[in-house]
Structure 1
Amino acid sequence: MKILPLLSGILLSASPAFANEILYRECTIQVATKFTTETGETAKENTEDSDLFKIDLKNQEAVSASAPKDSMAFELDNRVIRIAPPKNTGNDDISFSDLTINLDPPGTLKLSAKGQFKTGGSAEVNYNGTCKSVDASTFNKAMVKD
């Protein structure tokens, strides 16, 4: 009967440790893009990309190695980070979903965007990735330097 309180204590003590960590993730991302011109012609393109992320759980900020000066605030939701989409500041009508990255265990990355362009035409882009844990030195080597 004493095993349940012991397990509860272990589980509760593990959560704060996770919350103070800095995690590093390397993600391989499949990018599916569909363009539609103002005349209705469509073109599809599938590419692969990759990026590394430094995820500071204590301060709830993430940084991409490809854009290290742009930190992104996130919400932590059951071991998944959710980064709110950027505000649309251009002339085109573009909407983004939240960027999500599963943390523990390392798993998927998802993001989608749809846009209607003022010059005519539209685009849909879906990002689906698989992430794995890496160490700080891997992230630091990949960071884009100015």
Structure 2
Amino acid sequence: PRLRCLTHVVMKLEKCNSSMLQQIIPEAILCCKDFNERCRTAAYNLLTEIGKAMQRWLDKPTDDIIRDYIGLIMAGLTSSPTIASATILALAKIIYEFRDMIPEDMRLLLLDNITLLMTSASREIVASTLSFVKVYITSFPVSVVAPSISTI
């Protein structure tokens, strides 16, 4: 219920509240690994809504907004294995939802970071990276994915 409530709050906010975003993004990311499917779905919906809200709030080019948003999410990659794993799953959802808006350099940076994490000793991180790669391959056209195959 809390994540669904936060989703509605984000939808209704008319101005950017970055301090609130910095508090709710980690909670949403952590819930991406929750056992309860409804909780995971609510977390993914909240992350999607935050991305849409940032586009509404900020008077910047879409590329810059997406870069800022993904940058906020990527901060979790340097944390504990559980949080890093949840962050990878959150990034997979974000690239799926915003695939048409992600600039090429950001897409390649994401892929480089995720493939680097594939060599991690943590099983949960590796499992999440494989999920990310699956979403990456299915979200973008062959012409975009083909040059990245050697990296993967």
TM > 0.5: no
Structure with more of its chain in helix, by fraction: 2
Pick the TM interval, shorter chain. under 0.3
Of structures 1 and 2, the one with the larger relative CO (CA 8 A, separation 6+) is 1
Of the two, which has the highest radius of gyration? 1
Structure with more of its chain in strand, by fraction: 1
Using structure 1 for the length normalisation, give the TM-score: 0.22
